Amino acid sequence: MSLSLEPYKGTRDFYPADQFYQNYIFGVWKKVAESFGYLEYNASILEETALYKAKSGEEIVNEQTYTFTDRGGRDVTIRPEMTPTVARMVAQKRKELVFPLRWFSVPNLFRYERPQRGRLREHWQLNVDMFGVESAEADVEIVKVAYGIMKAFGASDEAFEIRINDRRLLNYLLHKHLQLDAEGAHKLSKLVDRMHKMKAEEFLASAREILGEKTKLLEEILYVKSLDELGEKVPQGEGVAELRRVFEALATAGIKNFVFDPTLVRGFDYYTGTVFEIFDTSPVNNRALFGGGRYDDLVGIFGVDKVPGVGFGMGDVTIRDFLETYKLLPEYRPPVDVYICHLEGFLEPAGALAGELRQAGVRVVEDLTARKVSAQVKTADREKIPFVLVVGEEEAKTQKFKLKNLAASQEQELDTAGLIKALKKTRE
């Protein structure tokens, strides 16, 4: 029997050129999160299954998790999302932690589903969360972090749009405006969540099945384009005032590409206030890139006092696809500064030079083979390493080396100190 060479279905191998892009994406995430003072945390990819049963949407727990029994009889799950874990961690040390917390993580997550474009079984996801601030200022900061990441990736304001709603408004609509019972409200919110994947008539027909005559009342709110247009239809205190504060603060911060979107639901049941989504505005690939919102009741499921939270998650698969489409990914370049070749018998002085350069922080590949110099240089070229030098009798004696830039076909003669300076400079 021959062994499979493929990765497990729905997962990816990251060869160095792939990992280069992962590192680029993770690097931008981390840089922006840290620029807002967020601290990195992490946890195990395995959690007891009870954690997910307590809060995730039904579909996720029942059909999409990797759940199994360990050898000691414990029911465990490979995490499908990070929010339950971070809520657990906050609940656990709530008495020692200094609030507000600003935390981020880049966990990998698993869902059992049919792999398709943009949907894999395993993906990495930036999670950014603030705990301990109830006011809309926290929601604003979280949206600013999301916006800051898009800008740090080089996205123009025209390439994406921030759609914002408030769960309190949705709850008002379902329970008070439409006077639905729990089941009806659940059905309708799932329907609204899917509405942009349906034709308008199809959506309205399905809505009519739930609402009958009251469908008109739904349209009154769902189809407005601004808070002003919402006007008197919704009383104060149902999320409208908070939305207004969020919009004003974003405008003050110079952010222009946000809109009020009363149709925005976000799948998870645990949101309690502001919800938002970053939308790709490209006409050929119009879709949500990522999103988040406020969840003030989540930490409370652990039987401790409530801790307000707001945050978002951003997946690597979707954002990489977006960056490729908009040609925003950098060119691949290995994290290597110079490739040192040697003539026969000069491996030792080549190694001594490599050691000195490394001590000074230069990234050096030493060719260890006994091949001809031309073959050694060819390897450097194929590996896209920018500089090469060759150590032979003269170089070993004079300690002067010809540093060659392969792409530019230029070379300069330098001593060791000169090499260090020149090579470190090219990295800036």
Q: Name which of 46 and 195 has its Cβ closer to a second copy.
A: 46
Please state whether beta strands 364-366 and 338-342 pair in parallel, antiparallel, or not at all (unpaired).
Answer: parallel
Beta bridge partners of 109: 123
Q: CB–CB of 290/312 below 8 Å?
A: yes
Give me the least distance between CB of 350 and a second copy, in Å please: 11
Q: Name which of 23 and 179 has its Cβ closer to a second copy.
A: 23
Give me the least distance between CB of 109 and a second copy, in Å please: 11
Q: Does 92 bind a second copy (CB under 8 A)?
A: yes
Q: Name which of 144 and 175 has its Cβ closer to a second copy.
A: 144
Other beta carbons within 10 angstroms of residue 205's beta carbon come to: 12
Which residues lie closer than 8 Å to 114 by C-beta, 6 or more apart?
Answer: none
φ/ψ of 236, rounded to 5, equals: -60, 160
Give me the least distance between CB of 291 and a second copy, in Å please: 21
Size of the site for a second copy (CB under 8 A): 96
Within 119-148, which residues bind a second copy (CB under 8 A)? 122, 133, 135, 137-138, 141, 148
Q: Which helix (H) or strand (E) holds 276?
A: strand 274-280
The interface mask with a second copy, positions 23-52, x = CB under 8 A, is x----------xxxx-xxxxxxxxxx-xx-
Which residues lie closer than 8 Å to 253 by C-beta, 6 or more apart?
Answer: 140, 144
Give me the least distance between CB of 317 and a second copy, in Å please: 13
Q: Does 155 bind a second copy (CB under 8 A)?
A: no
* Residue in this structure with the two tokens 């003539």, named with its chain if needed: 343
Q: Name which of 164 and 385 has its Cβ closer to a second copy.
A: 385
Q: How far apart are alpha carbons 370 and 366 in whole angstroms?
A: 12
Give me the least distance between CB of 234 and a second copy, in Å please: 26
Among 146, 364, 396, 420, binds a second copy (CB under 8 A): 364
Q: How far apart are alpha carbons 244 and 391 in whole angstroms?
A: 68
Within 100-119, which residues bind a second copy (CB under 8 A)? 100, 102-103, 108, 110, 112
Beta bridge partners of 258: 162
Within 236-265, which residues bind a second copy (CB under 8 A)? 249, 252-254
Q: What is the crossing angle of helices 200-211 and 215-222, to 10°?
A: 130
Q: Does 72 bind a second copy (CB under 8 A)?
A: yes
Q: Name which of 71 and 425 has its Cβ closer to a second copy.
A: 71
The encoded tokens of residue 164 equal 């914002």
Which residue type is seen at 407?
A: A
Give me the least distance between CB of 69 and a second copy, in Å please: 8
Please state whether beta strands 401-405 and 387-391 pair in parallel, antiparallel, or not at all (unpaired).
Answer: antiparallel
Q: Name which of 192 and 385 has its Cβ closer to a second copy.
A: 385
Give me the least distance between CB of 233 and a second copy, in Å please: 30
Cα separations (Å) of 70 from 48, 82, 106, 275, 282? 10, 21, 25, 37, 46
Q: Name which of 89 and 218 has its Cβ closer to a second copy.
A: 89
Is the peptide bond between 100 and the residue preceding it cis, with omega within 30 degrees of 0? yes
Q: How far apart are alpha carbons 194 and 265 in whole angstroms?
A: 9
Among the candidate windows 13-21, 171-179, 211-219, 230-238, which touches a second copy by CB under 8 A?
13-21
Give me the least distance between CB of 121 and a second copy, in Å please: 8
Within 286-345, which residues bind a second copy (CB under 8 A)? 301-303, 334-336, 339
Q: Name which of 5 and 408 has its Cβ closer to a second copy.
A: 5
Give me the least distance between CB of 196 and a second copy, in Å please: 29
Which residue type is seen at 187?
A: K
φ/ψ of 365, rounded to 5, equals: -100, 130
The encoded tokens of residue 269 equal 């049941």
Among 4, 116, 236, 374, binds a second copy (CB under 8 A): 4
Which residue type is seen at 193?
A: D
Among the candidate windows 99-107, 175-183, 226-234, 310-318, which touches a second copy by CB under 8 A?
99-107
Cα atoms found within 13 Å of the Cα of residue 108, Cβ hemisphere only: 11
Q: Name which of 215 and 274 has its Cβ closer to a second copy.
A: 274
Q: Name which of 66 and 326 has its Cβ closer to a second copy.
A: 66
Within 385-414, which residues bind a second copy (CB under 8 A)? 385
Among 21, 24, 66, 326, binds a second copy (CB under 8 A): 66
Within 176-235, which residues bind a second copy (CB under 8 A)? none
Running DSSP on this structure, what letter comes out for residue 112? -
Q: CB–CB of 129/104 below 8 Å?
A: yes
Give me the least distance between CB of 399 and a second copy, in Å please: 17
